[in-house]
Structure 1
Amino acid sequence: MNRLLVIEAILKTNSFTKAAQLLGYTQSSVSQMVASLEKEFHIQILKRSRHGVKLTPEGRELYPYIIQTIHQYQALKETASSIRGLKTGTVRIGAITSVSCYWLPTLFKQFREEYPDIEFVLQQGDYGMILNWLKSGLIDFGLMTAEYGDGFEKHIIHTTEMNAFLPANHPLANLDRVPIEKLCDDPFILVEGGGYSEPLEAFSRAHMTPDVRYRIQDDYTIMAMVEAGLGISILSELVYQRTDFNIVSKPVEPAVKRPVAVVHRDKETLPIASQYFIEFLIDNQSQLK
């Protein structure tokens, strides 16, 4: 197991020397463990260059299994700890921007008040990225739309509304609700969903086609572009709560909804810490606004 942890540390730090310092080994020991693993598998896993360390093509094929093995070992240790009561563990989450920024910090704080030694690893991305992380074992569960991703277990914890985001001086900015057909008159900035888009689904249901000029993954970049007058967009209502952009956010008619769900494989196979945190999310879903 130590050899696999060394591989992970080398790739995280992009250095044999830094990996040795991180894990408390000598650089010579780290090199020997890598060489031993490569000799056992008869495959070169890592390639060093002046730019750092990278996986070889063969190493890229092996790496998801290395990560899965590490996670399974950590899950084993956490299960043993759970017999004595949850004391340590790591919760690996993949989440969309609005959820990671506006819900998770408070939830992390509350959870750690009861379990102070639990660690969190948060990966932020679009729907497609989250599903790929789930499949590879990089994360234990995702927080994303329930409308996308077949083959996973899902539990909806909240339904958020997606609003029209407009420049402050836009003709539609004074409306209480913006008819979706009116959003086809301006250049549209689409939040990149990685395989699924609530705005595009809403336009399709209305038999409308927006004038998509930009596809951007980051909500804050989109809001800056809206403020600059480059177009309009539809984003989660959550991202408007803590912004000082000179823009307005108005509900769309008909409403565009996003059912946010905990998405994972068989829950019983997850690390104990992640099982606890999922239960914590479900028990506290009423505070998600």
Structure 2
Amino acid sequence: MFEIDALRLLVTVAETGSFTKAAVRLNYTQSAVSRRIATLEQQSGGALFERLPRGVRLNPAGRALYRHAVEVRDRLSRAERELAVLHAGRGGLLHVGAFATANISLVPAALRALKQVSPDVEVVAVEGPTGALMERLADGALDLAVVSDYPSGLPSADGVTTTVLCEDELFVALPRGHHLAASGMVDLRELRDEAWVQSAYGDRPTMLADACARAGFEPRKIIRIAEWAAKFGYVAAGLGVALVPSLAAWAIPGELVLCRLTDPALRRTVHIALPADPLPAALRLRDLLHDAGD
């Protein structure tokens, strides 16, 4: 296995044509250069340079290794530049996660602002439930995530810190022809006979189950639909009603009405989650998310 410093030294000796000149350029002693090249030649299985009366030049084996050494040097230089840009927050990849309704308007607004101030940052967006996002942060697969504590609390993850971003009130979506659509505020007990359109992530408690339990009843019927656009379609068709976070209000179609709920506790807190050593671009996005959430 060749050492990277030895390959760099090979390139410098080849470019200067002299152990002495390479030593001056790299701030080595001439004897240190000779020893390192001798070791490299031993590892290579033979001589790499022709020793001339005045200096050295690569032999065929040396020219073969030189081509690979230049490629390694150039790749390392590119890596160093990319890392410098990444850690300075001016570019590189930024892996961002969020739960579904945060991706309707909150996160896109912040990412649009990030693109304006840091156009060289390339965002890789991931959507998922809060628990999965926290795990990916702990594993180093995400650089920032927007997560929620409702209804089962905010899960902890090693090395992940969270800060409150905003409060997200829960509304009920009704078709415009519903007899409660014009009331503006609804007690969930008035909807105990309705079918409810909702989705669930595996066995995770749902906002609907928690809200109905607080109101003293269980949903008569649940229609399980995963995507928000399809949920809205079912409600618009009069097939059921749905709980809708305020973050999703921007996407509500005209056929629906959002009504507030009388229980003030029916809300969730949205958090920004970061790893222990966040990237500068992640911190910049955190600030932009606060701006978008105000």
Q: Specify the TM-score bucket, using the shorter chain as the normaliser.
A: 0.5 to 0.7
CA deviations 1:5-46 (Å, max 9, x no partner) are: xxxxxxxxxxxxxxxxxxxxxxxxxxxxxxxxxxxxxxxxxx
Give the C-alpha shift of residue 77 in structure 1.
Answer: 7.0
Q: Give the aligned partner of residue 197 of structure 1.
A: 206
Alignment of 1:187-226 (within 5 A): 187-193=195-201, 195-226=204-235
Aligned residue in 2 for 1:259:
269
1:64-103 matches, within 5 Å, as: 80-81=84-85, 85-103=88-106
Of residues 126-135 and 95-104 in structure 1, the stretch that sits farther from structure 2 once superposed is 126-135
Cα deviation, residue 233, structure 1: 0.9
Alignment partners' CA distance in 1, 2:269 and 2:92: 29
Q: Which runs of 5+ in 1 are unaligned?
A: 1-74
2:173 aligned partner: 165
Residue identity matched to 2:235: V
Unaligned runs of 5+ in 2: 1-78
Partner residue of 1:150? 156
The two structures have a TM-score, normalised by structure 2, of: 0.63
Aligned equivalent of 1:175, options 172, 183, 187: 183
Give me the whole-angstrom Cα distance separating, in 2, the residues matched to 1:207 and 1:235: 20
Residue identity matched to 2:116: E
Contact 1:177 1:252 in 2 (8 A): yes
Counting matched residue pairs gives: 209
Name the SS for the 2:181 alignment partner: coil
Give the conservation status (yes or no) of the 8 Å contact 1:78–1:271.
no
Tell me by how many angstroms 1:288 deviates.
Answer: 2.0
Alpha-carbon displacement from aligned partner over 1:212-247 (angstroms, at most 9, x marks no partner): 422232211111111112111101123232333411
Distance 1:208 1:280, change over 3 A: same
Give the alignment partner of residue 184 of structure 1, picking from 183, 192, 196: 192
What is the correspondence of 1:1-40 to structure 2 with a 5 Å cutoff?
A: none
TM-score for both structures, normalised by structure 1: 0.64
| 2:137/2:143 contact within 8 Å kept | yes
Given that 2:232 and 2:253 are in contact with CA atoms closer than 8 Å, whether structure 1 keeps it comes out as: no
Query: Whose radius of gyration is greater, 1 or 2?
Result: 2
Cα distance between partner residues in 2 of 1:210 and 1:260: 26
| 1:211 to 1:139, Cα distance in 2 relative to 1, 3 A | farther
Instruction: Check if 1:236 corresponds to 2:242.
Output: no
SS of corresponding position for 2:170 = strand
Q: 2:142 aligns with which of 139, 143, 148?
A: 139
Alpha-carbon spacing, 1:122–1:163, altered in 2? closer, same or farther (3 Å):
same
- The Cα of 1:166 is off from its aligned counterpart by 1.0
Q: Which amino acid aligns with 1:275?
A: L
Kindly report structure 1 stretches of 4+ aligned residues shifted beyond 4 Å: 75-79
**What amino acid sits opposite 1:104 in the alignment?**
V
Return closer, same or farther for 1:241/1:111 CA change in 2, 3 Å cut-off.
Answer: same
Per the alignment, in what secondary structure is the counterpart of residue 112 of structure 1?
A: helix
**CA pair 206-150 structure 1, distance change in 2 beyond 3 A:** farther
Change beyond 3 A, Cα 1:120–1:128: same
Q: Distance in 2 between matches of 1:217 and 1:141?
A: 24
In structure 1, C-alpha distance between the alignment counterparts of 2:125 and 2:156, rounded to whole Å: 22
CA distance in structure 1 between the partners assigned to 2:243 and 2:103 by the alignment? 18
d(CA) in 2 for partners of 1:93, 1:76: 23
Distance 1:138 1:77 in 2: 22
Q: What displacement does 1:191 show?
A: 3.1
* Residue 288 of structure 1: aligned partner: 293
Q: CA RMSD in A?
A: 2.6
